[in-house]
Amino acid sequence: MQDKTMLTIDAYNKNISRYTDKFMNYSPYVMHVIDFGGLLENDYKVLDIGCGPGNVAKQLCALKRLEITGIDLSSEMLEIARVNVPDGVFYLKDSRKASFSLEYFDAVVLSFSIVHLNDDEMKEVLTNAVKWLRSGGYLYLSFMEGKQPGFEITSFSSQPIYFNYFQESEIEDLLKGNGIDCFRSVRQGYLELDGSSTTEVFLFGKKR
């Protein structure tokens, strides 16, 4: 349990209730999920990568009748996701090793899950996620901009978690090169424990 991912997953497993207390219905994020849900149609197949406690999937399912597939590396998160989205299918899977049928999903969600990947891993996971999305399908992606990658103490875990940061332009260029046009971007501040503000980016994309 020494690599960054295992340490991060261990921290999530041990701080589930603190995470869900804060983020299960965190209104600054829910409003973007609701906007995204407006793009989806009933019976869409939606893949949620790094689904956590199923918060985003649950919010989407309140809007439309959806077939949810969620993956996460935290068994504790998945346990809660299965309760929150009883009709969903959830797998204990590493996003870096996951594999799905090409062009299978109508929508793919990556809500603050690339933030635990290094630069190369992020590129590979995003490239694969786009392959699993059908032409005309929608992508929801959120992440933070700015700082240097490394381990951090957060408001929901006193055990360090690995976070990485990306530039919006870098992500949009990567997506564009993989056939995704970003048609909506929202930037907002997140208040950190030390009083500083981190820029969060929410992107909506459509596959050509």
Ligand X SMILES: C[S@@+](CC[C@H](N)C(=O)[O-])C[C@H]1O[C@@H](n2cnc3c(N)ncnc32)[C@H](O)[C@@H]1O
Q: Which residues bind ligand X (CB under 6 A)?
A: 5, 8-9, 12, 23, 50-52, 55-56, 71-74, 77, 94-96, 111-113, 116
| Residue closest to ligand X when measured from CB atoms | 52
- Nearest distance from residue 208's CB to ligand X, in Å? 26
**Where does 38-115 have alpha helices with state H?**
55-61, 75-84
Q: Which is nearer to ligand X, 127 or 176 (CB)?
A: 127
Identify the helix (H) or strand (E) that includes residue 73.
none
**Phi-psi sector, 193: left (phi>0), alpha (psi -120 to 50), beta:** alpha
Closest distance of CB 153 from ligand X, Å:
14
92, amino acid identity: L
Query: Among residues 121 and 168, whose Cβ is nearest to ligand X?
Result: 121
Note whether 177 and 167 are within 8 A (CB). Answer: no
Q: What DSSP assignment string belongs to 152-193?
A: EEETTEEEEEEE----HHHHHHHHHHTTEEEEEEEEEEEE-T
Q: Is 129 exposed, middle or buried (0-12, 13-18, 19+ CB in 10 A)?
A: buried
What are φ and ψ of residue 69, in 5° steps?
-120, 125
**Residue in this structure with the two tokens 């204990």, named with its chain if needed:** 92
Q: What's the CA gap between 88 and 46, in Å, rounded?
A: 10
